[in-house]
Structures are given as C-alpha cells and as structure tokens.
Amino acid sequence: MEIWPQATVQQCVVHLIRSLLRYASKAHWSRLTKDLRRIYTAPTETAAEQRFAEFEAEWGDRYPAVIRLWREAWPTFTPFLAFPAEIRRVIYTTNAIESLGARFRQAARRRGHFPTEQAALKVLYLVIRQPLKNRPNVTGRTPGWKTALNTLALYYGDRITLN
C-alpha cells in the first residue's frame, strides 16, 4: 500500500469462495456456493451484510471456520460492492491479472536477462499481444471490459486513463 496509497484492495471473490470450501463437506458445496452467491451479488453493502447474517444463521453452527474466514475477508471484499452490478462480473476475479503476471514471469525466465529496460518492456508488450492458446477466448479480450473501463474511469477520475 505504500507504493500505491490510493489503491482499492479487493479480495478475489472466486479465490475467497474456493478457500472457504476447503472447510466444508463436499456434499454441501452446491448449497454453500448458492448461498454465498446471494452475498456477493447483493446490490449494496448493507444488503450483503443482511444476507451474510442469514448465511451465518444457516451455516454458522456447522461451519464456524467458513464464517470466520468470511468475516476476516470482509474489509477486502466490500470494495467490490461499491461498483454497479453490470461491471462486477468483469472485476469479481483476479484470475486474468494473475494469468498475465504468470505469463510475464515465464517470458522473463526464458530470456534470463535483458540488456536494457527497453528490451524488457518490449518482451512484456509482446506477451500482452500474444493470443492465448487452449482458452475459450483466444483473443484475451474480456467481454464487458469497455463498459467496466468507462465506469472505473468515472469512479477514479484522473487516476485511470482510457488509452
């Protein structure tokens, strides 16, 4: 946070759910995820809190570790709820960011070292432009990204550019 003091830290909803399921019986996974979906699709933080209270009443006795983990993650989960529902689908997971980071690391490892900073930036640019193989969306484009980007520009003003 020292590098980007104005950054909004958001917990990846997908990873949060996966980590919670480790503490639950597989027999209850579908019901748990259905009930959790009600929380992260709530229209507001207040509605999410109310739905979490219902979730806790339903599952708290059986899975106290799930409730504890969700409470601990709440401060980094709630920034997600400040955004309109139409862009939440684009930003609810950090998988795309993590995938790009992994591709950057792989490209840097393969080359070993770079003679200049410019050479490193060129390789990273080429990684970004490279189509993703064995993926349903090989272009790497995220559906709804333009709408999300415009909405984020409204929320963050001069901190985000549309270029």
pLDDT tens digits for 109-161?
A: 998 889 999 999 999 998 888 776 766 665 566 777 788 888 888 888 888 77
Q: Per the domain annotation, does 145 fall within a domain?
A: yes
Instruction: Specify the pLDDT at position 139.
Output: 57
Residue 6: inside a domain, yes or no? no
Closest Cα to residue 19, out of 63, 78, 51, 79?
Answer: 63
Q: How far apart are CA 83 and CA 91, in angstroms?
A: 9
Indicate whether 65 and 17 sit together in one domain. Answer: yes
Same domain, 77 and 99: no
As given in the structure block, the two tokens for residue 127 are: 């990684």
Domain range enclosing 123: 95-159
Q: How confident is the model over 79-121, as pLDDT tens digits?
A: 888 888 878 878 777 777 778 888 899 999 998 889 999 999 9
Helices (H), 5-162: 13-21, 29-40, 45-59, 64-77, 85-91, 95-111, 117-129, 145-156
Same domain, 77 and 124: no
Local confidence band at 12 (pLDDT 50, 70, 90 cut-offs): confident
Residue 88 lies in a domain: no
Would you state the pLDDT for residue 62? 96
pLDDT above 90 (res 24): yes
* Domain termination residue (choose one: 82, 114, 141): 82
The reply to whether 90 falls in a domain is no
21 falls within a domain: yes
Residue 96: what pLDDT?
73
Domain for residue 76, yes or no? yes
- The answer to whether 104 touches 130, Cβ cutoff 8 Å, is no
- Joined tokens for residue 129: 């432009």
In a domain, 125, yes or no: yes
Q: Is 5 a member of any domain? A: no
Question: Do 101 and 139 belong to one domain?
Answer: yes
